[in-house]
Amino acid sequence: MHLEKYQIAAFNEPLLDLHQKGFNYIASTIPNTEAIIEKLRAFQIAIPSWALGAGGTRFARFGIGGEPRNLEEKIMDVGLLHALNRSSGAISLHIPWDIPTNPAHLKAVAAQLGITFDAMNSNTFQDQPGQAHSYKFGSLQHVEAHTRNQAIDHNIEVINYGIELGSQSLSVWLADGSCFPGQLNFRKAFQHTLAGLQEIYKALPENWKMFVEYKAFEPNFYSTTVGDWGQSLLYANKLGPKAYTLVDLGHHLPNANIEQIVSLLLMEGKLGGFHFNDSKYGDDDLTVGSIKPYQLFLIFNELIDGMDANGMEHATDLGWMIDASHNVKDPLEDLLQSVEAIMIAYAQALLIDRKQLAEAQKMNDVVRAQEMLQQAFRTDVRPLVAEARLRDGGALKPLASYRAAEIRKNLISERGSVSVATGL
């Protein structure tokens, strides 16, 4: 299914007058409106290939119909999202769920839709059919060298797929760890993992980055070999200048101060990118901004402050990606909601007068500093985000347009009601 420009224009037509009134109002109250809009237009969030079908829990998976049956259809689905919001211009692949058997053709399909290939993701947390050695007791940390070597070879294979597609980064998330005290020698597990990552690092092209992701728990519940941002940073520092820490918002214990973590990683030049989601209890993979929108805003406040201090380009110097999986929503609707929440939080953080905030902090004016942040957070920036979309040919209301176009109904008609996406 394709969305043509005339269809989106037709959805926008009855909304234009009301949008213009809202935009004129906010533009009259913000001195740097045009600069913010240009930053919003440049900002792109990669869509993970595994989030395009119905997700699952450890107990069950409930299909939705019309799920993409192959990688080309996944790219087409990202094209639908991007046509609507103009901020989903990349896809992130997971190998071996999405092995590109015809890279040249896939690149051509993606280019027609304005889609690029973001970070490649390896998978050593599952045993695949025909796999020689099991990852039941770990991959890069494994006590047996042949299992560690198998995991190294897989990651290098993923890099090679990425080279063919034009990707420039590799994300490594390891389920390695232990469930019971005494199961694992922590030092040896760290050393084995580091040695494996060093071999993978050697295979990176010169212009590539490696993102080392961390997670406090699950599927191992006593220890994880990359358990927090400090351990990830330790690996990244030991690996070299092409290695960075990747922050998944759900991969933290409750009440962790994620905004402080990203601030310090930026200070050290070791923040590589983000997996956006939201959570109430643990790694819930909920819709971005659905539970803790103020936290998301505070994270963007620190991101903008740190990136500006380092002279970094907001849109391109970090990796931005959603990582979510749902049973109860149409995944494309969920992704539209997530991208919207990210763009809103980014726009709100762009409202902050950095000079005045620094002055308040210097004077220990706690009340003034708090009021500045909360004023930005309470500002309805949706007209700014919509204007950025409109200027790039997107929908003023992407979710409403998605429903008006009956996209899920059409996908079911094309692909059937029992199609199942590869991955989770």
Digit-coded pLDDT (tens) for 161-191: 999 999 999 999 999 999 999 999 999 999 9
Using DSSP's 3-state secondary structure scheme, residue 83 falls into helix
Average pLDDT over residues 272-293: 95
Q: Give the pLDDT of residue 140.
A: 98
pLDDT at 59 over 70: no
Average pLDDT over residues 85-113: 97
Please report where in the chains the tokens 């213009």 appear, as a residue.
Answer: 20
pLDDT at 210 over 70: yes
Give the distance from CA 9 to its chain's centroid: 29
| Integer angstrom CA distances of residue 2 from 72, 77, 137, 273, 421 | 13, 9, 45, 30, 19
Q: Give the pLDDT of residue 326.
A: 74
pLDDT at 324 over 90: no
Using 50, 70 and 90 to split pLDDT, how confident is the model at 134?
very high
Average pLDDT over residues 8-12: 98
Residue 86, Ramachandran bin (φ over 0: left; ψ between -120 and 50: alpha; else beta): left
Using DSSP's 3-state secondary structure scheme, residue 219 falls into coil
417: closest CA among 55, 57, 62, 60?
Answer: 62
Q: Give the pLDDT of residue 404.
A: 97
Least-confidence region, from 10-24, 125-139, 322-336: 322-336
Mean pLDDT, all residues of the chain: 96
Q: Give the pLDDT of residue 202.
A: 98
pLDDT at 1 over 90: no
DSSP at 281? S
pLDDT at 348 over 80: yes
Cα angle: 347, vertex 299, 32; to 5 degrees:
25
Digit-coded pLDDT (tens) for 380-422: 999 999 999 999 999 999 999 999 999 999 999 999 998 888 6
Q: Give the pLDDT of residue 57.
A: 63
Q: What is the pTM of this model?
A: 0.97
Q: Exposed, middle or buried, 104 (CB in 10 Å: 0-12/13-18/19+)?
A: exposed
Q: Give the pLDDT of residue 351.
A: 98
